[in-house]
Structure 1
Amino acid sequence: MVPKITVIGSLNMDLTATSAKRPAAGETILGERFETFPGGKGANQAVAAARLGADVAMIGMVGRDPFGDELTQVLRREGIRTEHIGRAGTSSGVAVIQVVDGDNSITVIPGANFQLTPDYIGTKRSVIAESDMVLIQLEIPLETVAAAAKCCQEADVPYILNPAPAQPLSREVIDQAAYITPNESEAAILFDDIQKALKEYADKLVITKGEEGIVYSGGRVPAFSVEPVDTTGAGDTFNAALALKLASGSPLDEACRYANAAAALQIGFPGAQAGMPTNDEVISFMRQNGQNPL
C-alpha cells in the first residue's frame, strides 16, 4: 500500500545567491549566480516524499501574492494535495540563501508561515487522522507545532519532529514525537548530554551529522562519498525518505540507510527540490554503492 504522509510546515520562495566567499560586515562582493527556487522545509519534505512514491497532503499557509500562487502550483504539479494550504493576508515566506563551496547559510523571513495557527490545525484533524505518518518542522509557530503534536497524539498517528531551525522545545512535544531528527547543532540545543539522550530516546532519536553520517541508538550509518553542489534541502530529503520507509513498516536501521542514500543523491543538484530523487533512483544508487536496498 502507498503510505499516506501529511506534512505540516512552511512554504517559502528560496532566493539563492552563489559566490566564492561570504561578504564580511559592510563588504560588497560580486556573486556568481542568482536563482529562485520553491522551498520551505515543509514544502521540501512534501516534494521529496511525493517523488519517492508517497501519497502526500500539505498543511501550510502562503500569502496572496505571486510567490504564493507559484508555491502552490509547484506542489500540485508534484501530485501533492494542496487543498489544505491556506491563504494569509501577508507576504509568502522567503528564504535568502548564500551558497559558498556547496555549503549554505540561510536567513528565513516567515511571512505567511507564521499565520499558520493552532485553530487552523484544528480544522485539519480529519486529514491528520487519515495519515500513516506526519512530518513537522519548526518554521511555523511553536504553539502550532504543539497543536499539531496534540492532534497526532489524539488520532494515534505517529509524527516525525524535525527540530529545524534549532530552538528549545517543551519536553511534552519531544516526548509525543515518534521520532526526532535533529542535526548535530540542533541536538546540542535540545539536549544537554547527547549520549544520554540517545539512550533515553532509544529507537526514537536520529542525529544527522553531515559528512560523518547518521547516529542513532542502534548504531551509525556512514555518509556516502559524494561531491556536494548544494546542501539546501538535504535534511528535508532525509526526513521525507525516513518517513516513507517507517510508514511502510521498515525498521529504523533500514529506514536510516535508505534516507541517507536519498539525501546523498539530493545534494548533487542546485536548489532544494531539483535533485530530490525517485524511489528507483535511490535503490539504484544504493546498489551501485554495495548496499542492499531491502
Structure 2
Amino acid sequence: MTQASASQPPAILCIGSVLWDIIGRCTTEMQRGSDMPGRITRLPGGVAMNIAMTLARFGVRPALLTAVGRDPEGDELIHACGHFGLITDHIYRSEDLPTDRYMAVEGANGLIAAIADAHSLEAAGDKILRPLSDGSLGSEDAPYAGQVALDGNLTLSLLDDIVASPAFAKADLRVAPASPGKAERLRPFLTRTRGTLYVNLEEAGILCQAEFTDSETAAQAMLDRGAARVLVTDGGASATVADAKGTITLHPPRVTVARVTGAGDTFMAAHIVAEARGEDRKTALASALKAAATYVSGEPPL
C-alpha cells in the first residue's frame, strides 16, 4: 500500500466498472447500418473510472474498487489509473478473468449503439468489496463513513447486498446505472430508500415502469416509488434534483455536441464535488450541468 493512501482513508470510493473504452466517432449523422469515415480511440473508461477521473480533475483523489485482469491490458489500465492520480491499491486483480471493455459508435446525432462487456466485474462479485470488511478501508464494526460512488455494472444481487450491508451503513451512497439496460439493478435503492440516484429520463422510466416527457415529473415519480433523493437528467432539455425538501429544475447551457459517452458520469462527479464544496442544492445542480455541458463540447470539465 502506498504511503499516501495508507495515511488516511480516501475521501470517496468509486465502485464499479474500470475498463477500456473503444469509441468510434463520426462528425456526420449516422443511422442503423451506416458505414462512415471517422476516428476510433481507446481510452480508460467505465462508469466508476469516468467518475473517478472527473473527481481527480477537481482535486479529489478517489480510490477504485473494481476487478481488473492480470493481462497486458489490465497492467496498462492500472498504469493509466496511476497517471490520473487514482488510488489503485484496493483493486481486485484476477488471474483468470480478462480486463473488461466497452465499445460504442457515436455520430453527430449522438450515441448510435454500444456494447458493454463487464463480465469480469460481474464474475468477481463481492471479491471487489473485501477492503471494506477486512480492515483495509473499513469493517462491519468500523464501517467506511465517506462517500461512495456506485455504478450499475455490479449485479443486482450485489447491489442488494450493499444496500443492506453493515459495512455501508454509514456511507453516503451515490448511485448511477451503467446504462438504460441495467437501470433495473437500482431497484434495491428504491425499495430500501437509500442513497442518491443519478438517472436519465429513460432510466427513470424503466425504474418507474412509465414514460416521462420531462425531468421534473420523472423525479417526483422516483420519490413516489421510494427514492430518498434523485437527480434526473434529460439531455440538453433539463435536469431536476428532488428529495424531501422539494424539487429544483434547471436547464443546461447550450453547446455544440462533440461527444456523449461519459457525460452522465461527469455530471455525477461534478455534483458530488459541488456539494462537497458546500454549495446549496440549486448551485450544485447548476455547477454539475455546466461541467457536463463543457465535457460534451469536447473541453475538460473544469
- TM-score interval (norm. to shorter): 0.7 to 0.9
5 Å-filtered alignment, 1:126-145, equals: 126=135, 127=137, 129-145=143-159
Pair 1:192–1:160, CA change in 2 (3 A): same
Is the CA contact 1:41–1:233 (under 8 Å) kept in the aligned structure 2? yes
Look up the match of 2:269: 240
How far is the alpha carbon of 1:171 from its aligned partner?
4.6
Shift of 1:251: 3.2
Can you give the 5+ residue segments of structure 1 that lack an aligned partner in the other structure?
A: 270-274, 282-294
CA distance in 1, matches of 2:268, 2:68: 22
- Take 1:170 and 1:244, find their aligned partners in 2: how far apart are those partners? 22
Deviations 1:158-177 (A, max 9, x none): 10111232332465333353
Aligned to 1:168: 184
C-alpha RMSD of matched pairs (Å): 2.5
Residue 260 of structure 2 corresponds to: 231
Secondary structure of 1:181's counterpart equals strand
Tell me the number of residue pairs that the alignment of Structure 1 and Structure 2 aligns.
Answer: 270
Shift in CA distance, 101/228, structure 1 to aligned 2, threshold 3 Å: same
Q: CA deviation at 1:221?
A: 1.3
Partner of 1:146: 160
Normalising to structure 2: TM-score of the pair?
0.80
Q: TM-score, normalised by structure 1?
A: 0.82
For the structure 1 residues 119 and 203, does the alpha-carbon distance in structure 2 shift closer, same or farther, using more than 3 Å as the test? closer
User: Percent of pairs identical after alignment?
Assistant: 24
Structure 2 residue corresponding to 1:251, chosen from 252, 270, 280? 280
Match of 1:90 among 74, 92, 97: 97
CA contact (8 A) 1:152 1:158 kept: no
Contact 2:54–2:269 (Cα < 8 Å) also in 1? yes
2:13 is aligned to: 6
Q: Does structure 2 retain, via aligned residues, the 8 Å contact 1:63–1:92?
A: yes
- Could you say which structure has the greater relative contact order, defined with CA pairs below 8 angstroms and 6 or more residues apart? 1
Instruction: Name the stretch that deviates more: 83-92 or 192-201.
Output: 192-201
> Given the superposition, is the C-alpha separation of residues 260 and 137 from structure 1 closer, same or farther in structure 2, using an over 3 Å criterion?
same
* Unpaired stretches in structure 2, ≥5 consecutive residues: 1-8, 211-217
Q: Secondary structure at the match of 2:236?
A: helix
Q: Are 1:137 and 1:162, in contact at CA under 8 Å, matched by a contact in 2?
A: yes
SS of the equivalent of 1:16 reads strand
CA distance in 1, matches of 2:227, 2:161: 25
Pairwise CA distance, 1:21: 4.8
1:34 equivalent among 7, 20, 40? 40
What letter is aligned with 1:139?
Answer: N
Question: What code does the residue aligned with 1:76 have?
Answer: G
1:48 and 2:54 aligned: yes
How far apart in 1 are the matches of 2:37 and 2:98? 26
1:115 aligns with 2:126: no
Superposed CA deviations along residues 113-170 of structure 1, whole A, max 9, x for unmatched, are 2233124314424526445211001112222223333347744111011123233246
